[in-house]
Amino acid sequence: MTLDHSPSPNDVAGIYEGIGPVYRTVWGPNIHYGYWENDADDSSIEEATDRLTDLMISGLAAQAGQRVLDIGCGIGHPALRLISACDVNVVGITVSHDQVAQATERAAAAGLADRATFQFADAMDMPFPDGSFDAAWAFESMWHMPDRRHVLAETARVLRPGGRLAIADVIERGPVSPEGRVVLDHICENYAVRSLGTVDEYQKALAANGFVDVEIRDISDNVSRTLAVMADAVETVRDKLADLVGEEQATSLIDFMRLSAVTPESGYLFLTAVRA
């Protein structure tokens, strides 16, 4: 489904400053899905979420000294891991002032304040000159964008020719059954999402914006456990969630997480591309 209005930066911030901190008490500083190798993999939330960051890091293949744009940086945990792994400089953007403050504090605490800066900016209208980054990633932020194609155009603009892009994103996988549609609608209505992307939409939008060497992997099977694990984790702080959103909504959020974990239409992709 498509919300009849696009989520504003304020709507997105409302999620990450509202229920976000409650989820974070049980999920940790990575505001994204976990990656499990297979059913036998019993990695913890921390290990599985860091593993997804490591997949993004290897996909980005950034070189030491490069300048990387982190589109939708959260509280900066993935950016700091990227810097430690690749010795790059990162500029992170988010539409939450609270996240800017937390990410900045974390960079300072890690002794990386000179390598990582975070600022409030809308990916739909990036305050950066053309060709000013060597690489960019959007780590589970694209699902919130009112117009993904436009964000990809902005990303192509601020990347230099040859610059690499990596994206991890929650997507819709067709064909969508009526039961699947109910779950996808719940996601859109409750997590500031206008519509979920698809592999096909990404392929077209990347090509239309001059990205080449596009490699898209459907990693739904590796990450879908996230929702079940998160449901169990959030269950332990149900009272705090209910204080914020009410009993009924807390139940609905947790129930839909469990449902989403077993709904094949609720998918996830990882992609890399190069700006021509």
Which residues form the interface with ligand SAH (CB under 6 A)? 9, 12, 16, 30-32, 72-74, 77-78, 93-96, 99, 122-124, 139-141, 144-145
The torsion angles phi and psi of 133, rounded to 5 degrees, stand at -125, 150
Residue closer to ligand SAH, measured from CB, 76 or 180: 76
Q: How is the beta sheet containing 133-139 ordered, strand by strand?
A: 116-120, 89-94, 67-71, 133-139, 159-172, 266-275, 211-218
Supply the minimum distance, in Å, between the C-beta of residue 137 and ligand SAH: 8
CB-CB contact of 193 with 145 (8 Å)? no
Task: Tell me whether residue 192 or residue 231 sits nearer to ligand SAH (CB atom).
Answer: 192
Minimum separation from the CB atom of position 73 to ligand SAH (A): 6
Closest to ligand SAH by CB, 12 vs 250, is: 12
**Angle 225-235/247-261 helices, nearest 10 degrees?**
150
Nearer to ligand SAH, 52 or 176 (CB): 52
Q: How far is CA 5 from CA 25, 140, 152, 171, in A?
A: 31, 21, 20, 19
User: 66 or 141: whose CB is closer to ligand SAH?
Assistant: 141
49 beta partners: none
For residue 248, the minimal CB distance to ligand SAH (Å) is 25
CB of 245 to ligand SAH, least distance (A): 19
Quote the CA–CA distance of 253 and 219 in Å, as a whole number: 23
**Cβ closest to ligand SAH, residue 110 vs residue 182:** 110
User: Which of residues 121 and 259 has its CB atom nearest to ligand SAH in the complex?
Assistant: 121
CB of 78 to ligand SAH, least distance (A): 5
- Comparing CB distances to ligand SAH, the nearer of 176 and 193 is 193
- How many angstroms separate the CA atoms of 140 and 82, rounded? 15
* 34: nearest Cα among 25, 47, 19, 21: 47
Structure tokens at 177: 């059954």
Burial label, 1 (beta-carbon count in 10 A; 0-12, 13-18, 19+): middle
CB of 140 vs ligand SAH, minimal distance in Å: 4
Q: How far is the CB of 40 from ligand SAH (least distance, A)?
A: 26
Minimum CB separation of residue 233 from ligand SAH in Å reads 16
Q: Kindly state the tokens that stand for 103.
A: 């990410």
- Whether the upstream peptide bond of residue 175 has omega within 30° of 0, thus cis, is yes
Nearest to 272 by CA among 103, 55, 18: 55
